[in-house]
A and B are shown apart, each in its own frame.
Chain A
Amino acid sequence: MKPLGIIVCVKVVPKPEEVSVNPETRTLDRAKARSELNPPDMNAIEMALALRERYGGSVSLLSMGPPFAAPYLQVGLAMGADHAYLLSDRLFGGADTLPTSFALARGIQKIGEWDLVLCGEESSDGATGQVPAGIAEWLDCSQATYAMDLALLPDGRLRAEREIRGGHEVIAVSLPAVVSVKLGVNEPRFMDMELRRTAPAVTVWNASDLGVDPASLGFEGSPTVVGAVWQAKSPERRREFLDGTLQEKARLLAERIRALVSF
């Protein structure tokens, strides 16, 4: 069985609890927010590293984002990825899922030999889940979404166990393939500090490196029109504490519940 060339697409996202919505620009205000690697992408990296341990090969990370994303890719290198590529250019800014998946697909082609692209199921800030499928379309290859487990079959196809409503589905797809990985399917390994010191630098490519028409990138290449954006209010907890013995507390609690539930 030949070694697997795996590319993991990752996104640096603002920490959800630290972003607010700017009603004028209809965008997320992330100026004060700290960032992290999108949580399901961490699961995708772990799955890629586990596949490499099992079948051999290499793991490359690919991201599109501002230059500040580079240190986050280094986190993935410290987990054990072999290479990291960052697509960074003002022309990429303001992209919806169409030019995002397009730029990532061009980045994947530029990296060269690959068998499998892994993505997190969706990003915690955009939450569309459209990018993995978009990449597969641009690359014209097979895809599987919401994968929980992957393995190579003797015939060279990829066996994917995926979550569907009400159960699991096992499918086989031919390689090359793009697979999105379900959030929480594994526990991402922690960084190896030795790798953190010795990891290679992140390769940065701009729009001209990809050799694509700028009109198909970023805001200009995005057909999405945002009609309105608002911030959902989270309910305030009442912070009431019940006093008394266990029995008394149970009785008080039951009274509260009864008042809220109509029989």
Chain B
Amino acid sequence: MSESASVCVLDDVAWQEVTAATMGAAAPCFQCGVCTAVCPWGLVQKEPVSIRRLIRMAQLRVDGWGEAIWLCTTCGLCEARCPRGVPVSEIILALRRLAWERRAAPKGLPTMLWAIHWDGNPWDQPPSQRQAWAKGLDLKPFAVGDDLLLYVGCTAAYDRRSQRIARSLVTLLRSAGVSFGILPDEPCCGESVRMVGQEAYLAELVEGNARRFKEAGVRTLVTVSPHCLDMFRTQYPSWDGFRPLHYTEYLAELLDGGRLSFARELPVTVTYHDPCYLGRRHGIYDPPRKLLAAIPGLTLVELPSSREDALCCGGGGGRMWLETHAGERFADLRVREAQGTGAEWLVTSCPFCILCLEDSAKVLGSEQLKVVDVTELAVRALGDGR
């Protein structure tokens, strides 16, 4: 029988599996196609990724999603625009979970998972080097009574570029007189495990980690990465006093309380890129802007698409562990947008965004545009010779 694109065979087993995996989340979709229209892949590929079709297939419980489910960066732009509130990312993560069962996960992802299993981080770096980022900082282990636990996360702990973000944050916290500590054997939060659809392994990780945090007496936990923040807010059980915050939120609180201030003028024009997992996922748009506004002399110009409309850098949804071909990187578009604003600095507040944007800035030869984290700018504005 010849195959026809318009014919699909409904399979009872697949029907049951997809229903169980997605828990019927696709049902409210009425196939308007807004998701496909706004998906950033349409900006870099000839054919957009048909999210609408994927959701329809999930409704009909049919197989054959192909590699499209692995392209999604879970940026959430489609979810923000969906008139029916369909949790598109969750459906895609559920389909990824089924893909593992069918042994159809992309190459490279098992290796990333093994790195988490053996070494406790997806970067395939030795656990003995986890605190290398803090060399010379004389940090102390977290103790009950500290204002907060600084959760550095794998990327800021191991990636050399991102280590500068964590070090800057330490300087800012110290300048505000905050008492804080780190966990000597900080575990991976499991974000990459969740994003590639390994829900059962994630449950194991989260259970062990949550117990450790709770036993250590952790209450306020400040993350460097919005992705870790999302994990602690949405995937971890809550306990009495547990308060996961992104550093931009915590630093904004310090500003409000008069504990943090910027004395040194920075007469620069900057633009700000909203990380998806800070902005659309958790509505944290104002704290980073508040920090920038508190720096004397600094001018913020907004990108053409910002806040709820911000374009993804391309690094979310497990895409950090998969190759994105040259010419298909969202960050290229974002860097061009930033150049168009006339800003000298492109500021953001997520290690994944920094890595993607800086790579694109290099590839596009736009070295005049410096890609920096909010913490790095803020440290320059402290004004005590740092």
Residues of A within 8 A of B (CB): 15, 17-18, 34, 36, 42, 75, 187-191, 193-194, 245-246
> Are the CB atoms of A191 and B201 closer together than 8 Å?
yes
Interface status of B2 (Cβ within 8 A of chain A)? no
For residue B110, CB closer than 8 A to chain A, the reply is yes
Q: Give the one of A190, A245, A246 with max B CB within 10 A.
A: A190
27 A/B residue pairs, CB under 8 Å, sorted by A: A15-B118, A15-B126, A17-B128, A18-B126, A18-B128, A34-B127, A187-B107, A187-B108, A187-B110, A187-B111, A188-B110, A188-B114, A189-B103, A190-B100, A190-B109, A190-B110, A190-B113, A190-B114, A190-B198, A190-B201, A191-B117, A193-B200, A193-B201, A193-B203, A245-B367, A246-B365, A246-B367
Q: How far is the CB of A126 from chain B (nearest CB, A)?
A: 19
Interface residue ranges of B195-214 to A (CB < 8 Å): 198, 200-201, 203-204
Q: Which of B117-137 contact A (CB under 8 A)?
A: 117-119, 126-128
Smallest distance from the beta carbon of B100 to chain A beta carbons, Å?
8
A4 to B341, CA, bound (A): 65
Complex Cα–Cα for A191 and B202 (A): 12
Least CB distance, B359 to chain A, in whole angstroms? 15
Q: List B residues 140-164 near A (Cβ within 8 Å).
A: none
Q: Which residues of A contact B100 (CB under 8 A)?
A: 190
Give the residues in chain A near B109, CB-CB below 8 Å.
190
B126 adjacent to A17 (CB under 8 Å):
yes
Nearest CB on A from B196, distance (A)? 9
Cβ contact within 8 Å between B110 and A189 = yes
B residues neighboring A (CB under 8 Å): 100, 103, 107-111, 113-114, 117-119, 126-128, 198, 200-201, 203-204, 365, 367
B201: chain A residues within 8 A (beta carbon): 190-191, 193
Chain B's interface: helix, strand, loop or mixed, by majority? helix
B298 → chain A closest CB, angstroms: 24
Q: In whole angstroms, what is the CA distance A34 to B117 when docked?
A: 12
Nearest first, the 7 closest Cβ-Cβ pairs linking A and B are: A193-B200, A190-B113, A190-B110, A17-B126, A36-B118, A187-B110, A193-B201
Across-interface contacts of B103 in A (CB, < 8 A) = 189
Least distance between B264 CB and chain A CB atoms (Å):
23
With CB as the reference atom, state the residue of chain A lying closest to B116. A190
Q: How distant is A187 from chain B, measured CB to nearest CB, in Å? A: 5
* B385 nearest CB across to chain A (Å): 21
Chain B neighbourhood of A246, CB < 8 A: 365, 367
How many Å lie between the Cα of A246 and that of B204 in the bound state?
Answer: 47
- Smallest Cβ distance from B316 to chain A, in angstroms? 21
Contact partners of A190 in chain B: CB under 8 A: 100, 109-110, 113-114, 117, 198, 201
Q: Please indicate which of the listed interface residues B100, B113, B114, B117 has the most CB atoms of chain A within 10 Å of its own CB.
A: B114
Separation of A75 and B201 alpha carbons in the complex (Å): 13
Expressed in whole angstroms, the Cα–Cα distance for A34 and B185 within the complex equals 13
- Chain A: minimal CB distance from B71 (Å): 20
Option from A36, A187, A193, A245 in Cβ contact (under 8 Å) with B204: A193
User: In the complex, A34 Cα to B129 Cα: how many Å?
Assistant: 13
A36, A193, A245 pick with most chain B CB within 10 angstroms: A193
Complex-state Cα separation, A190 to B112, whole angstroms: 9
